[in-house]
Each structure stands twice: as structure tokens, then as C-alpha cells.
Amino acid sequence: MKFDDFKTYCKDPKNQSTVNVGLFILLIISFHFVYLGWQALDYWPVKRTVDRLMVWSVNMVFGQSCWVLDHVLRVDITVISAKRFVAALNSDGGWARVIIAPECASLKQWLHWLFLMVLFPGPWRHKLWYIPAGLVVIEWTNVIRICGVLMMQVWWPNIHIRLGGSDINTFQLAHDYIFKAFFYLVIFLMWVLWVEKFKDKQNFVKSNKTNLL
């Protein structure tokens, strides 16, 4: 396919859904490799700023998660704040536990969202409020993720399944599979809402104005 043919294909309203999804996938994958490269460079040239943001972010999500576990889920938790450690008795009388490390902070997903929304087409008058709103949603999604990882260990402490030749326990299933997928599902749904309510709606209005002329 020639470049002119590709441009024509992208501009055809019938192909907008395919183009939108393709651009979404491209941006998501691109950010993954950009972030890995930046991580390999130790966040140059703003390492100190990133380190401070990580500490601030992880402390915030730790406090929010403890509050939800204590006041919403009514779980009797044991906390070691200095280590960001949270534990609770499980259904077998043992201990469910999570340690909220800097990697558990929302910072990467915030950057993911910023990268996606800044580069994805759409009116900036809506981006100026939709991007910050998305950052808030991502933060509380992370709180749900952390609480969910702990609560799965409380309710179902003895899960052991074979997956990809490995024995997966409750923590690994919750942390590496269920809630990681949930995190990116939320980002995907926010993007779908953007496309349906703002990006494509803008194009639809422009098209109708052109037809009226």
C-alpha cells in the first residue's frame, strides 16, 4: 500500500474504528519500549525528580489503600508504615500480606496515560480536564488493585494452578495476572470513552457542518 493510499484509508470515516484501535495499540506498545529505554538510562536527566515522585506516589497509594481496607472493607490490618507493609489474617488463620514497593506506585501508569492522551487526536479543550480526571481514576484503580491483591490472599489463600509450566499461587495470580489486566482494562475503557464521546464526536460534527455547506 502506497503512502497516499494509506492516508486515504485513514481519512475514510468507514475505517475510523480500525484506525483508532491501531493508533491506540501503537501508542501503548511505543510507550512500553520508550519507558524501558528511559528506565535503562536511570531516568536521565530527571532522576531526582522521578525518585521524589515515586516516593510521594507510593506513600499516597499506601495511605489510601490502608484507609480503604480499614474503613471500607473493615479488615483488621497490621501495618508497618516504614516498610509500607500491610498484613491481615487469612481464612486459614495464616497471614495475607503485601509490601507496596516504589514499582507499585501509579507513576508508570500516569505516564502511560499522559503519553497516550497527549498524542492521540482530540480537542484540547476536553483534554485539559479529561487527562487529569484519568490520572485520578488511575490512582484509585491502583488502590483497588492493592486491596484486591491482599483480599484475594485473605479469602482464597491456597490457590495453586499450573500456568505456562509454572506453579502460580494466590499472590502471583492476583498481582501478575488478574489485577494487572484490570489496570489496563480501565485505561482502555477510558480511552474508548474518549473516542466515543469526544474524538469521533468532534469529527462527526465537522462532517455534518461540511455537508450543510
What local confidence, expressed as pLDDT, does residue 210 receive? 42
* Whether 169 contacts 159, CB under 8 Å: yes
Query: Does residue 188 lie in a domain region?
Result: yes
Angle among Cα 164, 168, 171 to the nearest 5 degrees reads 140
**Mean of all residue pLDDT scores within the chain:** 90
Query: Does residue 28 lie in a domain region?
Result: no
Query: Does residue 123 lie in a domain region?
Result: yes
**Regions of the chain with pLDDT less than 50:** 202, 204-213
pTM reported for the whole predicted model: 0.88
Number of domains within the chain: 1
Query: Does residue 83 lie in a domain region?
Result: yes
Cα–Cα distance measured from residue 196 to residue 21, given in angstroms and rounded to the nearest whole number: 12
Residue numbers of the domain that contains 118:
45-208
Query: Does residue 20 lie in a domain region?
Result: no
Cα–Cα distance measured from residue 78 to residue 97, given in angstroms and rounded to the nearest whole number: 9
Query: Does residue 162 lie in a domain region?
Result: yes
Query: Does residue 26 lie in a domain region?
Result: no
**Read out DSSP for 38-61?**
HHHTTTTT-HHHHHHHHHHHHHHH
Q: Which of 192, 97, 191, 103 lies closest to 153 in space, CA to CA? A: 97
What local confidence, expressed as pLDDT, does residue 96 receive? 96
Angle among Cα 124, 130, 134 to the nearest 5 degrees reads 140
Cα–Cα distance measured from residue 177 to residue 11, given in angstroms and rounded to the nearest whole number: 37
**Read out DSSP for 150-208?**
HHHHHH-TT-EEEETTEEEEHHHIIIIIIHHHHHHHHHHHHHHHHIIIIIHHHHHHHHH
Query: Does residue 187 lie in a domain region?
Result: yes
Q: Which of 67, 59, 64, 60 lies closest to 83 in space, CA to CA? A: 59
Cα–Cα distance measured from residue 179 to residue 146, given in angstroms and rounded to the nearest whole number: 8
pLDDT digits 0-9 by tens, 108-166: 999 999 999 999 999 999 999 999 999 999 999 999 999 999 999 999 999 989 877 88
* Whether 64 contacts 138, CB under 8 Å: no
**Read out DSSP for 107-132?**
HHHHHHHHHHHHHS-S-HHHHHHHHH
What local confidence, expressed as pLDDT, does residue 212 receive? 38
